[in-house]
Amino acid sequence: MTEEQKAPQITVLDAGGQYCHLIARKIRELGVSAEVRPSDTPAAELAGRKGIVISGGPASVYEAGSPRIDPRILHLPGAAVLGICYGLQIMAHELGGEVIRGEKGEYGMAVLRTVRSHPLLSGLNGETRVWMSHRDRVEAPPPDFISIAVTKECPVAAMAHTSLPLFGLQFHPEVVHTEHGKEIYSNFLFRICGCERDWDPRGRVPQIEADIRRIAGDRNVFFFVSGGVDSTVAFTLCLRALGPERVYGVYVDTGLMREGETEFVENVFAKLGATQFHVEDAGARFLGALEGVTEPEEKRKRIGEEFVAVQERILGSGDFLSGRWILGQGTIYPDTIESGGTAKADVIKTHHNRVAGIQMLIDAGRIVEPLSSFYKDEVRQAGDELGIPREFLDRHPFPGPGLAIRCLCSESEAPVDRVKDGWILPIRSVGVQGDSRSYRQVLLIDGAPGDPGLHERATTLVNREVRVNRVIVRASGAAPETLRRTRGTVTKDRLARLRAADAVVRQLAAEHDFDHGIWQFPVILIPIGAADRPDSIVLRPVHSVDGMTAESVSIPAPLMTAFCQRLLALPGIAAVFHDLTHKPPGTIEWE
């Protein structure tokens, strides 16, 4: 039996969690082979595994139709079992513990306190920061289990059986924001499961290129490219695998792009050696499709449909519809998992490359997505192996639907609501809470943007206030009591306003060397204004590794002052805000 045919040492059972594949990736990074399989995989198919991890998920274990496991895996000879979040809860539920809905959720950063020493938590002494995303909790562990760690809101943040290799964690050690998460997985793999190192995550480019050649066969590949990291790396992989004469690229200028984006993309692909490259100006079509639309999912749907319509028109203009061509895309794993891409996952937001028209191409086998099992940091690693210049690889991620999803809309006016903790803004944004999509209002609070305690306060408030999934603070501009929701859709004027604001932020962030210390910096236009200034700007700098979780980043006072001076000088801008929300509970983008 070859190395490729060997069964992996660890299987991750997918209960629909947003971080399911991230768990497997973290395990592979530690040098141990891992796979992902459905949560209800029969125990007989997992014989020989040294460990099983049950992922988180959006469901409640006490509800009908929630994901289930084969209970025999909890007694599988030679296999230790670790439940994460929902996995902890289903383990407790199956074995006679009590799982309840908490009075309030626990989303984002929490402080874990170990109450008993245990090999799983070896190296965690006293208190440590962990990443939470749950409302349900284990109130009482099953018989023969003990709680080994707690948080302020969770009496069983970690549990272990007194004699069997069964363990559970309510928090997510796989996300970058959990301190000592790597150590916890290392403890599980090597101290508890007895795993050996048998996986090398480096040098994957040759295998990817071989996969491209296998999928393409004698067909050519047609790409709609964005100029972002993902499509650039995917396109380059196909160039390497098939040669430039077999790879055709079209950049669709949707009219929803940043200032100077089209010229930048043309330069990128010229340097890559793309000899077949074309820019398609489709701005009027996309703007027409978005006329009057205010709901974010409808925006994404229409943008996706317009992409497909443009694609079909271009493909129909030549011989691209013949069997000689297939479609290439730079889809990465978060695109599919947040769109409900695994069996039990909740749809957080619909990505333009997973709408019905694209799915039809996938079902027909006329697509190649070299990076669909990769995360953003892994894509950059592959780009490094390909020799792509860092100026391309280090670009901040930019959403496929462009500025349209950073331009929030409203059909009618409404007042701002004064509440105990601040002001409820009558606009809604997309969030992810307990692995599920939320669409809730925004809480504006008082405070100095540079105050180091603001993020902790924001986390507390968003966990307590069920009406909101996002907390912002005013940096400058009109006072909250003078603001109200205004009417506004995706128009040429509002896009120009947002494009100008985005350009200002990118320029100043680069000048102050702020952009190198963050992962992404969305600039959002919201229909909150006063008098003749109908809109406001929200600044959303975040730190992340893979986009699955993110931490809101403070902005230095001198830079914030510069932002506010320049942004408030733009026509139509009433105020500037700073988004204090981590992911979860808020998605990185607002829509």
Q: Comparing C-alpha atoms, which of 417, 579, 406 is closest to residue 488?
A: 406
Q: Classify residue 21 as exposed, middle or buried by CB count within 10 Å of its CB (0-12, 13-18, 19+).
A: buried
Rounded distance between C-alpha atoms, residue 129 and residue 137, angstroms: 18
Catalytic residue ranges: 85, 172, 174
- Do residues 74 and 167 make contact, with C-beta atoms less than 8 angstroms apart? no
- SS3 per residue for 339-383: ECCCCCCCECCCCHHHCHHHHHHHHCCCEECCCCCCCHHHHHHHH
- The token duo for 450 is 């540079």
Rounded distance between C-alpha atoms, residue 226 and residue 358, angstroms: 16
The helices-and-strands tally (H runs, E runs) of the chain is 15, 26
Count of CB atoms within 10 A of residue 523's CB? 23
Phi, psi at residue 325, to the nearest 5°? -130, 145
Rounded distance between C-alpha atoms, residue 318 and residue 25, angstroms: 41
Rounded distance between C-alpha atoms, residue 80 and residue 384, angstroms: 37
Rounded distance between C-alpha atoms, residue 372 and residue 352, angstroms: 15
In b/e form, how buried is each residue of 148-182, taking b as 16+ CB within 10 angstroms? bbbbebbbbbbbbbeeebbbbbbbbbbbbbbbbbe
Given strand 573-579, what is the order of strands in its sheet?
417-419, 422-433, 436-445, 468-477, 573-579, 535-539, 523-526
C-alpha dihedral, 433 to 437 to 440 to 443, nearest 10°: 40
C-alpha dihedral, 191 to 192 to 195 to 197, nearest 10°: -40
Rounded distance between C-alpha atoms, residue 425 and residue 427, angstroms: 6
Q: Comparing C-alpha atoms, which of 8, 62, 58, 71 is closest to residue 37?
A: 8
- Do residues 499 and 259 make contact, with C-beta atoms less than 8 angstroms apart? yes
User: Which residue bears the tokens 């940096």?
Assistant: 475
One DSSP character per residue, 292-307 reads T---HHHHHHHHHHHH
User: Which residue bears the tokens 């170990």?
Assistant: 114
